[in-house]
Structure 1
Amino acid sequence: MFSKIRKNWYTEDFSYFVRNFGVFTLIFSAMTLIILQVMHSSLYTSVDEKLQVLSSNPQDVIQLALNRASEDIKDLNNESVAKSSDKKPTVSSNTEVILFDENLNQLLAGNRFLGLDKVTFNKKDLNHIRQLHVQNSFGQDEIYRVLLTEMHIETTTTNIKYAAILINTSQLEQISQNHEQLIVVVMASFWILSLLASLYLARVSVKPLLESMQKQQAFVENASHELRTPLAVLQNRLETLFRKPEATIMESSESIASSLEEVRNMRFLTTNLLNLARRDDGIKPDLGEVQPEFFNTIFANYEMIATENHKVFRFENRIKRTIITDKLLLKQLMTILFDNAVKYTEEDGEINFVITATDRNLYLTVSDDGIGISQADKKKIFDRFYRVDKARTRQKGGFGLGLSLAKQIVDALKGSISVKDNKPHGTIFEVKIAIQTPPKRKNK
């Protein structure tokens, strides 16, 4: 059982599953990368802006360094730096400053606890923001965003030439990592859900294809079966004639008549198959004007056929104006419904055909008092080669294509067809077809 399921899986669904799952994987991978890239690129935007603002105010930088100082100033030429007591730099507690002389030797390193006294720079780092990892006195790794800038101070004389402005981003990095992990987990969860979605979509995608293949296979099998019987009869009759070359036409009339009947059946079958194929190709109806007398002529022909088959035919033509539809398709549809009623109505049975119209729709109602159709058969009577009573329809020359073709015609004419019981027994077919009214002629 498992091997059979696995075989069906690989042959029917696997390619669709791989395709859908591959698409989902690409989508979620791209979304994850884009989100992480956007987060990473915007993570230090505000921090870098603060570094740029501070670097443009040398006095504030030096003042901040003095405020952070934990030891005496080294060799400032005994010159004091002007303090901006009235204007304090707006910075956070995680901002540090290291002052350097022209040889990039530290003059003021700030708190030794942070481990900044061991940080070194070179002139290649000037005016470039970079990431810096520093180990503090407890052995913990701290992450800084650093900008090395040149100090242009005109009002004082001092050895201060450069300053490194540092903003601690360790907490920001930790928050960013937590967010990235959360994003990865969420995307992974959706990726797993996409696995289930791919399985479902594979089943949904392959279902109509399988149904189409099964219908096509059944169509070919049924068509072959229906053609096999007349071909076998023809072969048998022709072999009989071949074995009696001296027989007269009168003596061979039975075989000839039987052969002709089978040829007619085959011609009828192939014609219906061709019509069905044309409908499948979506041939557009050829719209034209249909006069009320058109229906009277058809009904007169049906009446003669019904009389020949010992049936009672009653009709009612309520069409009083010209309508626009496909005349040939309409005639074929009416003939199919009438022929179907004749086949399933017993001798002396009654067939009623009523046709009427509104401004937008044409209505056909065909009822008989025949054997009727069960509820189970009503769901399948429009399928190709489906017959309610196979033995009966074979005797009558039916192939189970008429109602299928009728359904195709109704669909082509943008209508609907339904079937219901005719009390106390029999069947009623109701058809609605969209029509157009011819334009009114203007009086000259």
Structure 2
Amino acid sequence: TIIKRMGLLLIATVILMIFVIGCIVYQIKIIARQNKIAQLREDFSYAMIHDMKTPLSSITMCTSFLHSGRLDDKPEMKEKYFTIVENETDHLLALTNKILTLSKLENHKLEMNKKKISFEPIIEDLKEKFITKSDKPIHFTIDLKAKEVYVDEEFFKELMSNLIDNAIKYSKKSIEIKISSHYDDKYTIIKIYDNGMGISEKDQRTIFDKFERASATKRTKFGGATGFGLGLNYVYQVIEAHEGKIYVNSIEGDFTEFTLFIPKIMEEL
């Protein structure tokens, strides 16, 4: 009799309890997400400080030597120190510009100056650049059936540079990089393959996210590749700005291949 009389009240109580439990679960998820974001920011700050500290230390050391006058009678050594200062300054400027560019791309405040450009000279320039600066042997295989691509030349060159730099950074002792291109009905398709460390299935889901290196602190401390986790996010944002697509295919410990789909010029579609 009591249950019958209090039926509506009991039902209302159960519904209220379910609602309260749902709110608690939702609140726990929000707190967990906030903690994850806080950890990402902390790791990013550490990686940024670590990466900027090295070039700044080099610049400080070189300018100190140059200012002391001890290299005035050694022109070759003096020129070498000037070159180090210039290179490290360019490195810091490139990092700063990348962060600013990403911010503009995310807020859709950066317009692409797209035009049809020749693909091969860009690849050849990057090939020579990375072979010269790398302390590992690199072998490039170039197969460009698509000779031209409709892109913003400056951003496209930086995009390709990021992908090749990643291939070298996460490589084995000997590096094999294959770059190919071809057309289909709507897209210029570009593939960048390397025989490096590969990417796990779990990481493949997040590699294009901003500051994706949640383990940047740990990796840097134990001698892993340094960086902010901006490179692949930059690639993704530039491809998005070109209204294209990017996919990754990788087996951990074996290879990684990025495939870019860049729309052809509208008149050709």
Return the TM-score normalized by structure 2.
Answer: 0.72
Counterparts of 2:58 and 2:115 in 1: how far apart (Å)?
Answer: 44
The letter of the residue matching 1:402 is G
Partner of 2:194: 368
The letter of the residue matching 2:142 is F
Q: CA deviation at 1:313?
A: 2.4
1:439 matched to 2:264? The reply is no
Counterparts of 1:377 and 1:257 in 2: how far apart (Å)?
Answer: 41
1:418/1:283 CA distance change after superposition, 3 Å: farther
Which SS does the other structure have where 2:142 is aligned?
strand
Q: CA deviation at 1:283?
A: 4.3
Counterparts of 2:111 and 2:257 in 1: how far apart (Å)?
Answer: 22
Partner of 2:250: 420
- Asked if structure 2 preserves the Cα contact closer than 8 Å seen for 1:317 and 1:354, the reply is yes
Q: 2:14 aligns with which of 164, 184, 189?
A: 189
- Please say which of residues 203-212 and 183-192 is displaced more in the overlay: 203-212
Q: 2:119 aligns with which of 282, 295, 316?
A: 295
- Asked if structure 1 preserves the Cα contact closer than 8 Å seen for 2:65 and 2:71, the reply is no
Counterparts of 1:348 and 1:216 in 2: how far apart (Å)?
Answer: 34
Cα deviation, 1:48-79, whole Å, max 9, x if unaligned, reads: xxxxxxxxxxxxxxxxxxxxxxxxxxxxxxxx
Counterparts of 2:201 and 2:256 in 1: how far apart (Å)?
Answer: 16
Q: CA deviation at 1:419?
A: 3.7
Partner of 2:84: 258
1:289/1:240 CA distance change after superposition, 3 Å: closer
Q: CA deviation at 1:354?
A: 0.6
Cα deviation, 1:30-62, whole Å, max 9, x if unaligned, reads: xxxxxxxxxxxxxxxxxxxxxxxxxxxxxxxxx
Partner of 2:161: 335
Counterparts of 2:170 and 2:233 in 1: how far apart (Å)?
Answer: 17
Partner of 2:43: 218
Q: 1:318 aligns with which of 130, 138, 145?
A: 145
Counterparts of 2:62 and 2:179 in 1: how far apart (Å)?
Answer: 40
Partner of 2:231: 402
Q: Which has the higher contact order (CA 8 A, sep 6+)?
A: 2
The letter of the residue matching 2:267 is P
Which SS does the other structure have where 1:420 is aligned?
strand
Q: CA deviation at 1:345?
A: 5.7
1:267/1:437 CA distance change after superposition, 3 Å: closer
Q: CA deviation at 1:406?
A: 1.9
Counterparts of 2:80 and 2:120 in 1: how far apart (Å)?
Answer: 38
1:393/1:214 CA distance change after superposition, 3 Å: closer
Question: What is the aligned length?
Answer: 254
Identical positions, percent? 16
- Please say which of residues 303-312 and 217-226 is displaced more in the overlay: 303-312
The letter of the residue matching 1:273 is I
1:349/1:201 CA distance change after superposition, 3 Å: closer
Q: CA deviation at 1:418?
A: 0.8
Q: CA deviation at 1:270?
A: 1.7
1:319/1:260 CA distance change after superposition, 3 Å: closer
The letter of the residue matching 2:266 is P
Counterparts of 2:113 and 2:86 in 1: how far apart (Å)?
Answer: 36
Which SS does the other structure have where 1:261 is aligned?
helix
- Asked if structure 2 preserves the Cα contact closer than 8 Å seen for 1:311 and 1:346, the reply is no
The letter of the residue matching 1:271 is N
Return the TM-score normalized by structure 1.
Answer: 0.47
Partner of 1:38: none
- Asked if structure 2 preserves the Cα contact closer than 8 Å seen for 1:219 and 1:384, the reply is yes
Q: Select the structure that is richer in helix.
A: 2
1:331/1:253 CA distance change after superposition, 3 Å: closer
- Asked if structure 2 preserves the Cα contact closer than 8 Å seen for 1:363 and 1:433, the reply is yes
The letter of the residue matching 1:203 is I
Q: 2:93 aligns with which of 267, 271, 278?
A: 267
Which SS does the other structure have where 1:428 is aligned?
strand
Partner of 1:430: 258
Q: CA RMSD in A?
A: 3.9
Counterparts of 2:224 and 2:23 in 1: how far apart (Å)?
Answer: 48
Which SS does the other structure have where 2:55 is aligned?
helix
- Asked if structure 2 preserves the Cα contact closer than 8 Å seen for 1:285 and 1:326, the reply is no
Which SS does the other structure have where 2:198 is aligned?
coil
The letter of the residue matching 1:286 is M
Structure 1: unaligned runs, 5 residues or longer: 1-177
Cα deviation, 1:189-229, whole Å, max 9, x if unaligned, reads: 21122211110111233443433333233222321222122
Which SS does the other structure have where 2:266 is aligned?
coil
